[in-house]
Chain A
Amino acid sequence: MMKKEMTPFARFEKMYASDRHLWRLIIMIIVWMIFIALTRFSKFYSILNFQTMASQFPEFGLMSLGVMLCMITGGIDLSVVGVANFTSILMAFLLLNLTNAAGGLPGYAIPLVFGLGILIGAAAGIFNGILVSKFNIPPILATMGSGELFTGLCLALTKGNAVSKFSRVYSRTINNKIAGLVPVQLLIFIVMAVFIWFLLSRTVFGTKLYMLGTSATAAKFSGLRNDRLLIKTYMVSGMCAALGGLIMLANYNSARADYGSVYTLQCVLIVVLGGVNPNGGKGKISGVVLAIILLRMLETGINRFPSISSYYISLIWGGVLILVMVLNYFTENSTRFIKRQMLQQ
């Protein structure tokens, strides 16, 4: 009875209250889309434009997914870009070897590149996980160091030059549109995002991850194998980063040690903006995906205003991040205060 009589406004309020952070992101996206529609409709709302966006964001989107997993355990992964470039450079060398005289590739080449690439990413992730769990190095330092190490290996392997001149078939395949509409990059991202969503919300592993992130001590006393969980988490993060690297390899049609170097901090920014608690234990993939979309839309939208320097984007990112945190501070602080007082009773 009560529910039926609820006014639409009250219903919306209830929905909003159930996950304020998520709705705030959605509202921001809608407001921005309306703004663009009013000012630059034709230049933004075209299939081509959306396809371009969809083929670009998976690079850092995939890396962000990995960072998100690590942050849920209370850690962080600052090595994603290093892992991505390391993978893409090794695979570029492989492609170079496989490219035949006619500039083509054997049929098994692309599956092989993806298979090996993911394996390399997994190995790199396991390395991070061992540093974090077995050697107890704080994750921020361990992954910072390993990130530097992987980047260093890239530089050492390439002397800082780009690896290119391999067959264009690779790039062309990844840049295909499925049914002429959906870019392959987007498809890879969606597959990975669904996989991680499934992992977090439908499997035992996901529940354990949130618990571990909430309290490692309580997890130990509940019989969870913390070390294995952490190693698996960083492994998945490494796999995400490797996929990101393979997409970069296709988008630039080359690999270089310093590609995407801004992505490291950008990924952390996206994940936090997506509502993941940097202390661990809290965060949803929906928030992170929305944050990725929001940032890509902001960036592309601003590019449609030639008079505005595209460099303003980083200003807006930083601004949005701090704004969201301050908003959370005000709403959560008031509710947290009430809750705390109630608890004392």
Chain B
Amino acid sequence: MAEGLLRAVDIYKSFVGVQALKKVSFEINPGEIHCLAGENGSGKSTLIKVISGVYSPDSGYMEFGGKRYEKITPIDAIQSGIQVIYQDFSIFPNLTVMENLAFNSELADRRKIVNWKRMRKIATDAIAKINFKVDLDAMVGTLTVAEKQMIAISRALMFNTKLIIMDEPTTALTKREVRNLFNIILKLKERGIAILFVSHKLNEVFEISEKFTILRSGELVATGSTADLDSEKFSFFMTGREFQKKTFVPLNVSKEPIFQAKGIGMKSAFHDVSFDLRRGEIIGITGLLDSGRTELALSLFGIRPIDHGAVLVNGEEVKIINPQVAMQHKIGYVPEDRLSEGLFLTQSIADNIVISEIDSLANKIGILDHKRRSEEIERWVRELAISTPNPDNACQTLSGGNQQRVVLAKWLALNLDILILNGPTVGVDIGSKHDIHGILQKLAEEGLALLIISDDLPEVLENCSRILVMKSGSIVADLDAAKSDEKTILSYMM
């Protein structure tokens, strides 16, 4: 019989005619750190759900510890030692740490009566396993993302766990927290626990995993040892395309700065930030998750106004106290969380494009000019190559890359001078990312001033002319992108 902990053989799965998984086979050995990568919609999450018993495969089988299953139920999966940690950690924000930790094991033991003393003991034991220190009586909703994740991991370890599946575990973590997570993963490995790590971040795949499996459109395109992989191969496997990087060279930079920040600050977020932004320029602001970069972005758009310093637009001081003021001064903002902040998912693509400029498409008393509205929509769908059969379809029918183009269209339609982008390609697949970078560079050439806030260093290096590095709320370096590399930036960030 096979040595492996888990072996999936020839898994097929389709949903109402759409093939989600085609003949996928791979295996995981005990104590192995295995990375599962793939673009959005490549079948990653379907595969996880098949392994954890949420979906049953159409054909194919799985082996856990030598035992063959044609179909597996979630309970079988848990009893075979499989635990899934979803992106939202499956926690109860309204309950205490203690209850969150003990809830699952109490359920698994089919207990009916709650014994608070026993719960406390279960919880204490659980966090001791990974040396995690936390107030057991704190409400989980008040904890940081990393702490929530530790709770999810502690909880997963309470069972006789042999394999932990982590779905994009590093998404909302600071660099230090990621380091901490990786240390814990390595410790788990020493104990013989295998980790299936779902990610599409190249550097993480190289750093932590020994084996990898890449899916594309439901098919397994590559599996093997990470040592044999490099970044060109990785993006080729992911997308099936080869890309030529086009590094941004600023052409028509205006003489006078269009936007100036003079010593601006916000309490307990960032302080004393100054920079000038000119037309035709792309400035990158990078830093760790806790560096204050997001707060800075939000304050420039007036969501959380600054409390000292001054902002000058075209040389005149402007008090940006809300997004309307920012928009009046031709500043737009592409938010970090596209799904909740950037888009109205269930509304039409058309309405999503015109919503910010809608007042200009109406007459004095607010009656919409339908002809101009549809002209605008047609124009932006064409210019940004948003691929949709009908702009009246709901926005949620689009892929991540196309959704991001809709957000861009919404702002470009306003005829802006300054566009702030916070994580412009987060959750966008490699192909679309490339296209979006192309659009941004073209916009700069046309005279727009862009500010990209991102922790994706290759992205910043490729697309910006200047890079400001933030650390603990202030700017610690102002670099010329052409003369710097990832290492230099990282040394300032840490």
Answer yes or no: A and B touching, Cβ < 8 Å.
yes
* Chain A interface residues toward B at CB < 8 A: 202-205, 207-208, 210-211, 214-215, 217-225, 281-282, 338-339, 341-345
Contact B358 A221 (CB under 8 A): no
A217→B342 CA distance, assembly (Å)? 8
Contact B346 A214 (CB under 8 A): yes
Contact B344 A218 (CB under 8 A): yes
A343→B394 CA distance, assembly (Å)? 12
Contact A281 B346 (CB under 8 A): yes
Minimum C-beta distance from A236 to chain B (A): 13
25 A-B contacts (beta carbon < 8 Å): A203-B362, A204-B358, A204-B361, A204-B367, A204-B368, A210-B347, A215-B340, A218-B344, A219-B344, A221-B335, A223-B323, A223-B356, A224-B355, A225-B324, A281-B344, A281-B346, A338-B15, A341-B15, A341-B16, A341-B18, A341-B20, A342-B16, A344-B15, A344-B45, A345-B218
Minimum C-beta distance from B56 to chain A (A): 14
| Residue B303 is within 8 A (CB to CB) of chain A in the complex | yes
Residues of B within 8 A of A207 (CB): 351, 354-355, 358, 368
Minimum C-beta distance from B185 to chain A (A): 27
Contact B41 A202 (CB under 8 A): no
Other-chain contact of A222, B41, B355, B397 (Cβ < 8 Å): B355
Contact A208 B358 (CB under 8 A): yes
Residues of B within 8 A of A214 (CB): 344-347
Residues of A within 8 A of B341 (CB): 217-218, 221
Question: Which secondary structure characterizes the binding site on chain A?
Answer: helix
Minimum C-beta distance from B116 to chain A (A): 32
Contact B355 A343 (CB under 8 A): no
Residues of B within 8 A of A217 (CB): 340-341
Contact A221 B342 (CB under 8 A): yes
Residues of A within 8 A of B212 (CB): none
| Residue B466 is within 8 A (CB to CB) of chain A in the complex | no
Other-chain contact of B46, A208, A224, A344 (Cβ < 8 Å): A344
Given contacts A202-B367, A222-B355, contact A344 B347 (CB under 8 A): no
Contact A203 B355 (CB under 8 A): no
| Residue B359 is within 8 A (CB to CB) of chain A in the complex | yes
Other-chain contact of B351, A202, A211, A224 (Cβ < 8 Å): A211
Closest A residue to B397 by CB, please name it: A343
Given contacts A203-B362, A204-B366, A211-B347, contact A218 B340 (CB under 8 A): yes
Contact B343 A218 (CB under 8 A): yes
| Residue B327 is within 8 A (CB to CB) of chain A in the complex | yes
Contact B362 A204 (CB under 8 A): yes
Contact B344 A215 (CB under 8 A): yes
Minimum C-beta distance from A231 to chain B (A): 16
Contact B41 A345 (CB under 8 A): yes
Contact A222 B410 (CB under 8 A): yes
A203→B342 CA distance, assembly (Å)? 23
Residues of A within 8 A of B342 (CB): 218, 221
Contact B355 A208 (CB under 8 A): yes
- 8 closest A-B pairs (Cβ-Cβ)? A341-B15, A214-B344, A223-B323, A221-B341, A204-B362, A203-B366, A223-B327, A204-B366
Contact A221 B303 (CB under 8 A): yes
Residues of B within 8 A of A204 (CB): 358-359, 361-362, 366-368
Contact A338 B346 (CB under 8 A): no
A77→B323 CA distance, assembly (Å)? 29
Contact B410 A338 (CB under 8 A): no
A71→B396 CA distance, assembly (Å)? 22
Given A222-B323, A223-B324, output 20 extra A-B contacts at Cβ < 8 Å. A202-B368, A203-B368, A204-B359, A204-B366, A207-B355, A214-B346, A214-B347, A215-B345, A217-B340, A218-B341, A218-B343, A218-B344, A221-B323, A223-B326, A342-B15, A342-B16, A344-B20, A344-B41, A345-B20, A345-B41
| Residue B333 is within 8 A (CB to CB) of chain A in the complex | yes
A285→B16 CA distance, assembly (Å)? 34
Minimum C-beta distance from B400 to chain A (A): 11
Closest B residue to A340 by CB, please name it: B15
Closest A residue to B347 by CB, please name it: A214
A279→B340 CA distance, assembly (Å)? 15
- Most A CB within 10 A of own CB, among B16, B46, B326, B347: B347
Minimum C-beta distance from A335 to chain B (A): 10
Given contacts A204-B359, A218-B342, contact A210 B323 (CB under 8 A): no
Minimum C-beta distance from A21 to chain B (A): 15
Residues of B within 8 A of A343 (CB): 396-397
A153→B216 CA distance, assembly (Å)? 67
Contact A342 B18 (CB under 8 A): yes
- Most B CB within 10 A of own CB, among A202, A207, A219: A207
Residues of A within 8 A of B356 (CB): 222-223
Residues of A within 8 A of B20 (CB): 341, 344-345
Closest A residue to B44 by CB, please name it: A344
A135→B333 CA distance, assembly (Å)? 27
A282→B394 CA distance, assembly (Å)? 12
A53→B406 CA distance, assembly (Å)? 48
Contact B303 A220 (CB under 8 A): yes
Please encode chain B, from 327 to 349, with 1 for each CB lying within 8 Å of some chain A CB and 0 for all others: 10000010100001111111100
A307→B361 CA distance, assembly (Å)? 59
- Most B CB within 10 A of own CB, among A207, A208, A220, A223: A223
A207→B45 CA distance, assembly (Å)? 35
Minimum C-beta distance from A338 to chain B (A): 5
A341→B15 CA distance, assembly (Å)? 6
A328→B16 CA distance, assembly (Å)? 20
Minimum C-beta distance from B346 to chain A (A): 6
Residues of A within 8 A of B16 (CB): 338, 341-342
Contact A203 B367 (CB under 8 A): yes
A203→B41 CA distance, assembly (Å)? 38
Minimum C-beta distance from B393 to chain A (A): 11
Minimum C-beta distance from B40 to chain A (A): 9
Given contacts A218-B341, A221-B335, A223-B356, contact A282 B346 (CB under 8 A): yes
Closest A residue to B14 by CB, please name it: A341
A342→B396 CA distance, assembly (Å)? 11
A203→B368 CA distance, assembly (Å)? 5
Which residues of B in the span 1-59 have a Cβ within 8 Å of any Cβ on A?
Answer: 15-16, 18, 20, 41, 45-46
Contact A205 B366 (CB under 8 A): yes
